[in-house]
Amino acid sequence: MEIVDIIESNGQIKEMLKDCPYDILKRWKIREYPKDYVICHQDMKYEYFCIIVEGYANIYLTAENGKKFSQSIYKKGDYFGELEIFDNKPYICSIEALTELRVIGIHRKYFLQWIDRDRHFSLYITRTLCDSFYKLSKMAGENTLYSLKYRICNYLLYRLDSGTEIKVNKEQLSEQFAVTQRSINRVLQQLKEKNLIEVSNNSIFVIDIEGLVEEEKVSRNE
């Protein structure tokens, strides 16, 4: 798939790249990664700004004791590398493909030329970065204030745009919410007993979306 085809088939990416100068547009590269591939490692430097075209990526931190904490799940239209690219700093987090992943990337040299010449993109980056910081602040508050059940219901509903089967296992959920697998198992069992989900080794199937939405609302106040 060529860059132009990718842009034309995705409204969010088209909005981002619509005023990208042609001499920079032709510098984009398409890259594909298999599930579980670590694209970028924490504390290492990379010179590319990337936009996700297809699939999901896990953005996570690893502590000195080896424990992983998932900070966010990125999907189509999300981008990474923007925080480190200006001063060529090491990555704060690791980026891992949760599913098969396709991205487009551009080298730091051309990214800096692009943001200098394209006012639309400069404003887009500013606006979306502010939105990301807003969501991270909101998530930090929810992690402190709300129950694990609410957070899991909220996460499952967020992932529903890829269909009712969500490719995630209990270990990944444990990393996502920084809790033990035992705690994850307890909540999943509760949702299963209410006939809201089915659970396999590497997937969760949502069988009652409306019921899960209601459970999210109720658990928010628990």
pLDDT tens per residue across span 30-40: 999 999 999 99
Q: What pLDDT is recorded for position 139?
A: 67
- Asked if residue 27 and residue 119 are part of one domain, the reply reads yes
Q: Which helix (H) or strand (E) holds 102?
A: strand 101-107
End of a domain among 141, 163, 188? 141
- Asked if residue 117 and residue 214 are part of one domain, the reply reads no
The predicted model scores a pTM of: 0.67
End of a domain among 117, 141, 165? 141
Give the contacts of 55 (CB within 8 A, at least 6 positions apart).
75, 76, 97, 98, 99, 100, 101, 102
End of a domain among 78, 111, 141? 141
User: What are the DSSP calls for 74-129, one per residue?
Assistant: E-TT-EESHHHHTTTPPPSSEEEESS-EEEEEEEHHHHHHHHHH-HHHHHHHHHHH
Range of the domain at 164: 146-220
- Asked if residue 131 and residue 41 are part of one domain, the reply reads yes
What CATH number does the domain containing 66 carry? 2.60.120.10
Q: Residue 202 corresponds to which amino acid?
A: N
Q: Smallest Cα–Cα separation from 218: which of 43, 77, 210? A: 210
Q: What pLDDT is recorded for position 3?
A: 84
Q: What pLDDT is recorded for position 142?
A: 65
Q: What pLDDT is recorded for position 94?
A: 95
How far is Cα 4 from Cα 14, in angstroms, rounded to an integer? 9
Angle at 49 between CA 44 and CA 51, to 5 degrees: 120
3-state secondary structure 182-204: HHHHHHHHHHHHCCCEEECCCCE
What CATH number does the domain containing 165 carry? 1.10.10.10
Estimate the share of the chain in helix, then strand, then coil, as percent rounded to the nearest 5: 50, 20, 30
Q: What pLDDT is recorded for position 64?
A: 79
Q: What pLDDT is recorded for position 160?
A: 82
Q: How far is CA 185 from CA 11, 133, 169, 181, 207, in A?
A: 38, 30, 11, 6, 18
- Asked if residue 164 and residue 109 are part of one domain, the reply reads no
pLDDT tens per residue across span 80-126: 999 899 999 999 999 999 899 999 999 999 999 999 999 999 999 99
How far is Cα 181 from Cα 140, in angstroms, rounded to an integer? 20
Burial class (CB in 10 A: 0-12, 13-18, 19+), 210: exposed
Angle at 6 between CA 5 and CA 10, to 5 degrees: 115
